[in-house]
Amino acid sequence: MTRQILLIDDDASLRRVTEFNLQEAGYHVLTANDGAAGLRLFKRHRPELVITDVQMPGMNGYEVLAAVLALEPQTLVIIVTAFSTVAQAVDAMKVGAYDYLAKPFSRDQLSLTVAKAFEYRSLRQENSQLKAALSETAETDQIIGHSKEMLQLMQRVEKVAASQASVLISGESGTGKEVIAKALHRGSDRSKGPFIAVNCAAIPKDLIESELFGHIKGSFTGAIKDRKGKFSLANKGTLFLDEIGELPIGLQPKLLRALQEQQFEPVGGVSEQVDVRVLAATNRNLDEAMQSGEFREDLYYRLAVVPIEIP
């Protein structure tokens, strides 16, 4: 859907140029030559972004800002100001404006500021969805507590969710590591894809390779048909490896390759390409496991691009 912008400016020449540049960038633009007319358009169309001049006859830009935010607090407002009144524009940001443009501004400055505004809005919407997911899980007692530490954890989860980075979640058993992993999945652009969870400690060591990577019929005794592994099932989504510290050392190089290259080989098969974000969790001290040779250091750093510790 085309993004909609309301442009309010009493300078007809600047308004036409700005409108043209925004339309060239693919936006649908509504225009008004004063604050009152702009507010009427806003009430009718409720655009996501408003760009308003400060100095206008009648209703000025600050009054437009206050009226717009009173109607729709989530609306982003960019203030256009003369260079000599930048300080006033900064004051406007303190009371709710998203950003400002100082005249004269270039086409590139306009495009960048608007693009950043919409990117910020999208991220804020994703974070709101994630907060709702976290709130839902809290209500069902899957996440326990509302301490300062837990609130900080939630904030960190919100920030990390939108990235594609691997995350290593550490915490004692029963602290909600899988709940955090699901929240990371819901808050990402993979949320419509599958979320596949594997408990590495619950699978016999001689079966875990097949469980993760799948196998081809006849590749070992009992392999009576082809079977997809968890990596294949999680394609375009998220794979959660719980108790990753229990993964056999002999299988760790294969997991490392899958993380690095997004490729793996089913048991008895040929290489497959996937698109999977991997989240892992552990209740073990992996530093000690690395020192004792039970866990590969290169795999640890590949998994723990972003570490999250549950208090």
pLDDT of residue 142: 46
Give the pLDDT mean for 189-206.
90
Determine contact, residues 286/293, Cβ cutoff 8 Å.
no
Which residue has tokens 């509302």? 146
Three-class secondary structure of residue 146 per DSSP? coil
Give start and end residues of each alpha helix (H) in the chain: 12-24, 35-45, 61-71, 86-94, 107-139, 148-161, 177-186, 208-213, 230-233, 252-261, 286-291, 297-303
Q: Please write the tens of the pLDDT for every residue from 87-126.
A: 767 777 777 888 888 888 889 889 888 988 887 777 666 5
Q: Judging by DSSP bridges, how do beta strands 263-264 and 272-273 pair with one another?
A: antiparallel
Q: Looking at residue 139, what is its pLDDT?
A: 43
* CA separation, residue 56 to residues 48, 49, 240 (Å): 22, 19, 55
Chain mean pLDDT for the chain = 85
DSSP SS3 for 260: helix
Dmax over CA atoms of the chain, in Å, equals 84
CATH class as words, domain 4-123: alpha beta
> Is 4-123's fold the same as 141-309's?
yes
3-state SS string for 22-49: HHHCCCEEEEECCHHHHHHHHHHHCCCE
Q: Is domain 141-309 classified as CATH 3.40.50.300?
A: yes
Does the pLDDT of residue 167 top 50, yes or no?
Answer: yes
Q: What is the pTM of this model?
A: 0.54
> Domain coordinates of the chain in residue numbers?
4-123, 141-309
